[in-house]
Structure 1
């Protein structure tokens, strides 16, 4: 019994890690592209552009979202900032859909793990999601409720002294404060965003010129690190959970939850149940793709699987964020709109693909337990290149090559200058990127005193974000 359990655990880990190995290069490539867009594509005045709810603004919101990060929580936080600044509700929701369904890294992962049919359904369905959502919001939006919530949100943030991080649009804190040459005080959500702002202020040309300098690559590396910091837990959890679901969940469970057979009712039930499973799965961002592989392997219909993939914006943790931001009524409204939109779009995609004769057939392929994941093939070589690229960006970031600031924070290794907090000990002045690092130094100075206070030191610590 124990031997069987241990062997099944190892098989679950083999499948989960195998999925991760298969998709690693695609995730890295996607985040590389996303980081480039985040660093070099300007998003200024976006909230003003999205103030109207017309078709043109929805298109711009969709493009803005597709060029943004793929983190569900990040999308919700940025959406809150846009909403507070006056963006129309339909544009905020369109941005959130696009930033979690139309991004490069998600598409590549779906293509590798589920197939091109699911990729087409994801991209086409992502656009259909936005259209369906816009129609529902137009017909049902309680304008008075959202106007009141916007005013309350602004007043609450003002009373709490909340400021907006000019780098990412999230809430800034006093721990990461910068005074500009124009005597303006800016607050940031993290040391990483503060450093990004400093790097942007030190920029001297377009992206071609930037990438010919260490400063440009440092900015790139900093953004790449931040992108990973937002999604790595969801990705790892999603892959590992998928392995255990495939091995340990019996087929009878899937048969009980999802009706088997053909017909419109079966397709509709599977789509609705796919969204429902997503709500309680606690797996968001790109981590729900490997989970979707487990559903597909369990015999769930095309509609149910693709609806599940759409639904990372209404998992329980994300719903709790809506509640904290906007209150129960708006949270329930968003849940209702998103649930109906995602289930209906999944239902529609299966009908369309069935009419075109391109609904994939799982029976012809290998199951997850039959696949061999670690071989000397194209995946190995692509992963080798991807890991080398990631190592290069990490090296540039950790060394601080081209970073602004003449001092190095002894706690985290981040570049800083004389405007930041500092402390003197034994005739040596240490400069810090934030009050957080200063407090850590004061509480355990002996641990960090060996670090040289200037940037000439060859070793550097890994940067951090305090989200």
Structure 2
């Protein structure tokens, strides 16, 4: 297969996946807008102050009802943590659920992978939240959270008031707005528009009932703007996910994946465990987050990696380098390391657990088979229905004048496109170099830490060996002394017995000698005396 053919096949695969998931993305982002509009961030912060299991459950529920963008989830969790939410609720449950238990992710997974993966995503997601919550509640000390909150407040940066992303005020593409309280900075124009709409309607519906809010045209306009803001934040990740998945599926041979995930015999714990670890590492290196991971997960599944490893790959979206760097900037190096380590462990543990759970329930589909895609007729109908919905949302959010102005500016944008592409390539190159340096530094630190850990393990092993010898000596010395004493006592007893026996023998021999002497001496003497007496008498 030639390179051009592979590229064409990759583009075709990416376009086919985008076509199949288009309606689900429109529906998912619209539902996200509805939920974010009717559940305020202030209410969430107010009920997540403790790290009890009730608060963790609510944080998981709120996270599942929020945005699926990993960057937005990270910044929202940071805001909740800064406002007083507990680390277990904000940084563990809410942040993980915000990217892995959301509606649009489930819809895309159902279309590309099947309902089994959707069910596994929610079951494994709850397992991962449980692992994270246990670590945050019982393993990490409270002093770490206080230090992380102090670091966050001490190094507070300029934040987009709408999405919570960090904004560089000196950047060329920064969006600003002058207000009575000063200049506000935004990451994009849609956030600025959303902020203006919020300011215009602030305080107008604070006392409205739920019925009034549901019928409020203003609120539904904000729902539409929120949905478009989700598109604005995520479309690059989604497009990149489709392209990466398409090119990888078309150009990377199956044998390569078999070698990469071929640790251990198929079906064994080693096969699933190592596959899950490798999958999380690939997710971290893919630079694609949230919904954009699903097309890549489809490629991995079709190339025969374990079911649980596919889920671990999807759960690894919060470990991409830009987010790891954000953790470091927000909370400090120690807390960032704890977050990365705990999320890595949770992703692997959830993937392995859900693999064996679904295997025991016979819910794992045949290897490589993705059965969730609806028939083509349904896809066409759904796309025909939801494409006008998307166009209406664009019309309501931006208005006819802005849309017409954008269309008229297309030639000018096309003329500027090469320059922007060069600047983007230069910026991407600089970021890649920076990421490369960060990765190299991290690898050096990991290598140094691994060497120290290995040396510590060697010293611990040697100490354990010496301690074992000492314990052996301590335990066996009394036994040896007792055995020696017993041997001496037994020898003395034998000697006494032999001596007594010899004494008895000598006494018996002496008695025998006395009797023999009497027989040989006394008896003849007595006979002689008697004879003499007899002679005298005569």
- Flag the 1:188–1:219 CA change in 2: closer, same or farther, 3 A: farther
Q: Which moved more, 1:206-215 or 1:136-145?
A: 206-215
- Flag the 1:376–1:312 CA change in 2: closer, same or farther, 3 A: closer
Cα distance, 1:169 vs structure 2: 4.8
Contact 2:88 2:133 in 1 (8 A): yes
Does residue 196 (structure 1) correspond to residue 194 (structure 2)? The answer is: no
Could you tell me which residue of structure 1 aligns to residue 243 of structure 2? Answer: 240
Give secondary structure in 1 for the equivalent of 2:84.
Answer: coil
- Flag the 1:177–1:80 CA change in 2: closer, same or farther, 3 A: farther
Query: Which of 349, 352, 367 is equivalent to 1:347?
Result: 352
Q: Which moved more, 1:214-223 or 1:253-262?
A: 214-223
Report matched runs for 1:373-392 at 5 Å: 377-392=377-392
Contact 2:21 2:111 in 1 (8 A): yes
Could you tell me which residue of structure 2 aligns to residue 115 of structure 1? Answer: 114
Report matched runs for 1:50-199 at 5 Å: 50-92=48-90, 93-157=92-156, 162=158, 165=161, 167-169=162-164, 175-179=176-180, 187=184, 189=186, 190-199=191-200
Per-residue CA shift, 1:259-299, capped at 9, x if unaligned?
25121111111111111111111111210000000101111
Could you tell me which residue of structure 2 aligns to residue 453 of structure 1? Answer: none
Contact 2:17 2:242 in 1 (8 A): yes
Could you tell me which residue of structure 2 aligns to residue 432 of structure 1? Answer: none
Cα distance, 1:117 vs structure 2: 0.7
Report matched runs for 1:362-377 at 5 Å: 362=367, 377=377
Give secondary structure in 2 for the equivalent of 1:362.
Answer: coil
Contact 2:51 2:137 in 1 (8 A): no
Does residue 337 (structure 1) correspond to residue 338 (structure 2)? The answer is: no
Matches of 1:389 and 1:207, distance apart in 2: 25
Matches of 1:88 and 1:177, distance apart in 2: 34
Contact 1:275 1:311 in 2 (8 A): yes
Q: Root-mean-square deviation (CA), in Å?
A: 2.9
Could you tell me which residue of structure 2 aligns to residue 393 of structure 1? Answer: 393
Could you tell me which residue of structure 2 aligns to residue 420 of structure 1? Answer: none
Matches of 1:29 and 1:38, distance apart in 2: 14
Could you tell me which residue of structure 2 aligns to residue 441 of structure 1? Answer: none
Matches of 1:245 and 1:89, distance apart in 2: 37
Matches of 1:390 and 1:207, distance apart in 2: 26
Does residue 310 (structure 1) correspond to residue 315 (structure 2)? The answer is: yes
Matches of 1:163 and 1:329, distance apart in 2: 23
Q: Which moved more, 1:384-393 or 1:251-260?
A: 251-260
Normalising by the residue count of structure 2, what TM-score does the alignment of the two structures yield?
Answer: 0.67
Contact 2:112 2:370 in 1 (8 A): no
Matches of 2:288 and 2:16, distance apart in 1: 19
Cα distance, 1:217 vs structure 2: 3.8
Cα distance, 1:199 vs structure 2: 4.5
Contact 1:52 1:88 in 2 (8 A): yes
Matches of 1:221 and 1:46, distance apart in 2: 22
- Flag the 1:225–1:207 CA change in 2: closer, same or farther, 3 A: farther
Cα distance, 1:228 vs structure 2: 0.6
Could you tell me which residue of structure 2 aligns to residue 257 of structure 1? Answer: 260
Give secondary structure in 1 for the equivalent of 2:147.
Answer: helix
Matches of 2:226 and 2:369, distance apart in 1: 41
Per-residue CA shift, 1:300-323, capped at 9, x if unaligned?
110111110111011122111112
Contact 1:168 1:193 in 2 (8 A): no
Contact 1:275 1:308 in 2 (8 A): yes
Cα distance, 1:393 vs structure 2: 1.2
Cα distance, 1:197 vs structure 2: 1.4
Matches of 2:159 and 2:21, distance apart in 1: 38
Give secondary structure in 2 for the equivalent of 1:86.
Answer: coil
Could you tell me which residue of structure 1 aligns to residue 232 of structure 2? Answer: 229
Contact 2:72 2:163 in 1 (8 A): no
| Segments of 4+ moved more than 4 angstroms | 167-174, 184-188, 202-214, 363-366, 410-413
Contact 1:196 1:222 in 2 (8 A): no
Could you tell me which residue of structure 1 aligns to residue 278 of structure 2? Answer: 273
Contact 2:302 2:368 in 1 (8 A): no
Matches of 2:370 and 2:88, distance apart in 1: 41
Cα distance, 1:152 vs structure 2: 2.4
Contact 1:225 1:394 in 2 (8 A): yes
Cα distance, 1:35 vs structure 2: 0.5
Query: Which of 319, 333, 338 is equivalent to 1:328?
Result: 333
Cα distance, 1:400 vs structure 2: 7.5
Structure 2: runs of 5 or more not aligned: 170-174, 408-538
Q: Which moved more, 1:239-248 or 1:261-270?
A: 261-270
Matches of 1:265 and 1:364, distance apart in 2: 23
- Flag the 1:392–1:348 CA change in 2: closer, same or farther, 3 A: same
Does residue 34 (structure 1) correspond to residue 32 (structure 2)? The answer is: yes
- Flag the 1:47–1:213 CA change in 2: closer, same or farther, 3 A: closer
- Flag the 1:111–1:289 CA change in 2: closer, same or farther, 3 A: same
Q: Alignment length, in residue pairs?
A: 392
Give secondary structure in 1 for the equivalent of 2:364.
Answer: coil
Normalising by the residue count of structure 1, what TM-score does the alignment of the two structures yield?
Answer: 0.77
Per-residue CA shift, 1:171-216, capped at 9, x if unaligned?
688933544xxxx779564413312312542744456546656534
Q: Which has the larger radius of gyration?
A: 2
- Flag the 1:333–1:399 CA change in 2: closer, same or farther, 3 A: same
Matches of 1:168 and 1:365, distance apart in 2: 35
